[in-house]
Structure formats: C-alpha cells, structure tokens
Structure 1
Amino acid sequence: MASQQPDGPFADRVVFVTGAARGQGREHAVRFAEAGADVIAVDVCEQLDSVAYPMATPEDLAETVASVEKTGRRIVAERCDVRDRDRLAAIVSRGVEEFGRLDFVLANAGIMPATGPQGREINAYVDAVDIMLNGVYYTVDAALPALLDNSDGGAIVITSSAAGLKSVSTDLGTMTHGAAGYTAAKHGVVGLMRHFAASLAARNIRVNSVHPGGVATPMVLNEAMVGFITENPSFGQSQMPLMTLPMMESGSVTDAIMFLCGPAGRYITGVALPIDAGLQLR
C-alpha cells in the first residue's frame, strides 16, 4: 500500500516491535502506526516445545501487517526468533534502509512456559531466559546502531511483567522450571533496562521497563493457564489486583508505552513502571 502523508504524534518516526504477531505486540504496532509511525515487526511464529498453549502463526503476523497497512503506514515484517541476534540486526537494517531511521524499540517478545507438563521440564527454564532476557539484550543491541545514528535521540521500552517485581511461584506446587525462568528473566531485564538507561542517557535515548499484570491475550487466556490456576489456587489468588477493575486489555499497556516514548515522557528514564492495578502490592 502506498504510504500516506504521516500525521499524528509519531509522524515520521519508526518503531521496532518484537513479538508483533498478536496480543500486546500487535496492539503496539497498530497504535504506533495510527499515531503516524512506520513499523519494523518480528515474531517467531512457530510452536516451542516448552510452551503449553498455541503460539502465534505466520497468519497472525500477516494480520498485523494488514492492520498496520490499513492505517496508511508502512511495515517491514519478518519471522524471527529473538534468540538470533544476527537475523534481528539484518531485519532492523532492512527496515532502516526502507524508512530512513529508527526512533523506538519495543522489546515485547515473550512466552509463558510455567504451565502444563512442559513447564516442569528444564528446557522451559532455558527457553524463558534465552527469549526474555538474552532475547531482549539481542533486540536492543541489534537496534542500537540505528538509534545512535538518530540525532533526535529515541526511546527503548522493555516489556517485563509484574513477575519482574515479585515471584510467579507461590508455593511448591507452582515451583516449575518455567516459573523460575519467567521470574528470573523478567527480573533480569530490569537490570538490562538500568544498564542501557545509564549508558545511553547522554545521547538522549530513554530506557524504561513496563510491568503489566495479567493481560487478556492468548498467553494468559488459554486452557493450560486455566488448568494451572485450578490445580494451584494460590497462584490465582496471587494474580488478583487490588483494584476492582476488569482484566487489563493490551491497549492499556500500549497507552503507557506511548506515554514513555512520546514528548510527555521526555524526562523519564531508568523507571520500572508497574501497570497492574496494585498487583505488586499483594
């Protein structure tokens, strides 16, 4: 689709989103496009042995592409595992060659490997750390040359979790390898966020993390998660927010990320921002 004249708060800007095929990642891509940005998007689009629920498909990524293009903005979208740093770098380079710049990096890709029999296998721990800690590092590192070339600065937002502020596991029944890996990775990216925030501040590149509670996406709304909660009531209780609000939709996370990337967030860096209706206080 031919690009229209950009309009909106992110006109002439470019955003790189990982895990963009559905859920929070798709919401981020489409909302940034609606605000005028062009999009570089990746998703693995295949099933991992450590994950008990159905993961995103190539058809899901194609739907993200169509949704972005409906806004009149451009998108470069490729299948990519965030554990592959070289491929990430190649895709970012292709997007920057087409769009001319990079302004925002949203390290969103993630899995929930705590549930089902898969969660009790050691590879659930390994995959969690490789994807949600190492993969975040590779994402930022692959995008960094383009961000540093941008004289306007930029913003990086890492999607952590309420599990970056408290443990997923609540007792022996929930102490799976996947729960340990998820908790370790989501805590670990707070350290990466602070590392990059301190290192890049002089170049006016802001770096923050967001920490959502349960979000109404396929990663949470699936049979494996229902079974895990049924078998482990303490886990379900631990995920209840203090505020009496409906379950969070992806758009609420996008709202916070757009704030952090936009002019209103220009003085905010090095912050781990809970978006959880008080869950971390429980």
Structure 2
Amino acid sequence: MGRVEGKVALVTGAARGQGRSHAVRLAEEGASVIAIDICEDIGTVPYALSTEEDLAETAREIEKRDQRVVTVKADVRDEAAMREAVDRGVAELGRLDIVSANAGIFSCAPGELDGQTWKDMIDVNLNGVFHTCKAAVPHLRRAGGGSVVLTSSCAGLMGFEGFAHYTAAKHGVIGYMRSLAKEVANDFIRVNTVCPTSVFTDMINNDAMFGIMRPDLESPTVEDAMVSWTAINLLPVPYVDVEDITNAVLFLASDEARYITSVALPVDAGSTQK
C-alpha cells in the first residue's frame, strides 16, 4: 500500500519541474491528482514557463501509475479561476486530502526593482498560495482533515541581495503558513512549508539565471553558475534535485507526519546555516 493510498492531491505548477515531480510521486504512492498550471509565459519572468503539452505529459505520467488525474489550465493569480479549478477537480475525483501549493516564478533585480516585476512576483508566489488554500481548505474540512504543503524557499528564511521581491514573497508564505496552521488545526488540517535551496529545474537552468549568478562573465555557462550556487550552500553541492524536495513533500503529506504542523522544513544543503 502506498503512503497516500486512496487520497486525492492538488498540485499547482504541476506541468513540469518540482510540481510534476510532486504530482507523479504522489500518484506512485496511491493518490489521484488534480494538476493545475498556467501554461503561459509571464512578461517579467526571464525564462519560458510551461506549456499545455507539458501539463499533458504530467497527466500521462500519472496515468502510467494507474491513477486518475484531472488537469486544469488556470492562473493562481486569479482567485475565481482557482476556485473553479479546485471545485472541478474535487467534483471529478470525489474529495481532497492533500494540497501542494507549489506554483512559483523567479526573477532578479540587481538594480532598481520596478513595480510590475514586484507585483508579478507577489501575485504568483504569495497571492497564488493564498488563492490555492482559500479554494482548497473547505474541501479539506469536508474530508475530515488533510495536509497542506506550501513551497517557500531558503529565501523565506534569510535575505538575498538582488531579489527582494522573491525574498519578501517567500517570507510571506512562511508567515501565512504559521497563521493558517492555527486557524485550521481544530479541523485536523496540517499546514507546513518546504524551504529548498536552488533546485535544478528550468527555473535556474537558463541563460538569464547564469548571467545573474556570474555577472563577471560575458557568456556564463551552467558550469560557471555552479560555482556561485555551491557558494550558497553549507554542503559542497551546487543544488539539490527535484526528488529531494518531493521526498519532503510526500513525507509531510503522509500520515508519517500526522502530528507535524506549522513547520518550515529546510531542504537547503545547509544554506540557511552558512
């Protein structure tokens, strides 16, 4: 029997990267999945976001695990769209037990931070978490409880120069988690965050990020960026893999963590202690 056998999980940002990894692993462990993603680019984000084909591939991977999946193209910035998406998924799959509010973006502003870049970051990485939870919590209550895992960052636990907007959003996610955990505890709903260091996905594996990490070089490569990524961490590694974050999400979602709530769990190679 899987660790989340017979449960239904909601994953945002599910089309690729961490979100796909979380969705597929939850399916491997017995859960049906509501997979949501924007499948469109955002102007202030310096790399391409997911596509509808990416989301379809996530669905195929879940179905290979003999689990049911409902995919919805929706923007976490849109409260009404998220409510409709979650309601649709629950209507098709019957209940909701697990929420992985994973959708997120990254950008950097080493100079002056403009208002639109700030707004997009807060709207996706913080407001999007709120909209997801607002839509999901009533369904968790009706199911008699559940687990909510919000994706923050090591930048939710410490400051970083050059991306104040990202740091502010990720700090906000932890603050929201701590308050929501108190508000829903009597309903047997647990709320936690995972706080990764750099994770090797398309969010960091792109030319824009290489330039951010190595502004001293004209055309930096991923190998050049690894030097800076490694400098962030206490362990001598440049990044962690998606599976490392998925393992933490699965643990917090499972009954193995049934008495763990209001915790900000670093999966950070020691970066917050350096």
TM interval, short-chain normalised:
over 0.9
Distance 1:114 1:246, change over 3 A: closer
Q: Residue 46 of structure 1 contacts residue 55 of structure 1 at CA under 8 Å; is this kept in 2?
A: yes
When normalised by structure 2's length, the TM-score is 0.92
Distance 1:28 1:180 in 2: 27
> Does 1:230 find its partner at 2:230?
no
Q: Which runs of 5+ in 1 are unaligned?
A: 1-6
Task: Provide the residue aligned with 1:216 in structure 2.
Answer: 200
Query: Match for 1:180 among 153, 156, 164?
Result: 164
Amino acid at match of 1:202: N
Query: Match for 1:270 among 262, 269, 274?
Result: 262
Distance 1:49 1:154 in 2: 35
What secondary structure sits across from 2:214 in the alignment? Answer: helix
Task: Provide the residue aligned with 1:134 in structure 2.
Answer: 127
Task: Provide the residue aligned with 2:67 in structure 1.
Answer: 73
The superposition leaves residues 120-144 of structure 1 with CA deviations (integer Å, 9 ceiling, x where unpaired) of 5321111010111111001000111
What secondary structure sits across from 1:231 in the alignment? Answer: coil
Distance 1:271 1:232 in 2: 38
The superposition leaves residues 103-160 of structure 1 with CA deviations (integer Å, 9 ceiling, x where unpaired) of 001100000021699x953211110101111110010001111111012x10000000
Query: Match for 2:30 among 9, 32, 36?
Result: 36
Amino acid at match of 1:247: Y
Task: Provide the residue aligned with 2:136 in structure 1.
Answer: 143
Distance 1:225 1:246, change over 3 A: closer
> Does 1:261 find its partner at 2:245?
no
The superposition leaves residues 68-113 of structure 1 with CA deviations (integer Å, 9 ceiling, x where unpaired) of 1111101111111101111111111111111111000110000002
Amino acid at match of 2:195: H
- Give the Å deviation of 1:263: 1.5
Distance 2:192 2:260 in 1: 8
What secondary structure sits across from 2:33 in the alignment? Answer: strand
Distance 1:237 1:45, change over 3 A: closer
| Residue correspondence of structure 1 range 29-108 to structure 2 within 5 A | 29-108=23-102
- Give the Å deviation of 1:64: 0.6
Task: Provide the residue aligned with 1:194 in structure 2.
Answer: 178
- Give the Å deviation of 1:240: 2.3
The superposition leaves residues 157-190 of structure 1 with CA deviations (integer Å, 9 ceiling, x where unpaired) of 0000010011221xxxx3xxxx121111000011
Amino acid at match of 2:166: Y
Task: Provide the residue aligned with 2:154 in structure 1.
Answer: 162
> Does 1:111 find its partner at 2:98?
no
Aligned length: 266
- Give the Å deviation of 1:30: 0.2
Q: Residue 95 of structure 2 contacts residue 139 of structure 2 at CA under 8 Å; is this kept in 1?
A: yes
Q: Residue 198 of structure 2 contacts residue 238 of structure 2 at CA under 8 Å; is this kept in 1?
A: no
Distance 1:232 1:105 in 2: 41
Q: Which runs of 5+ in 2 are unaligned?
A: 218-224
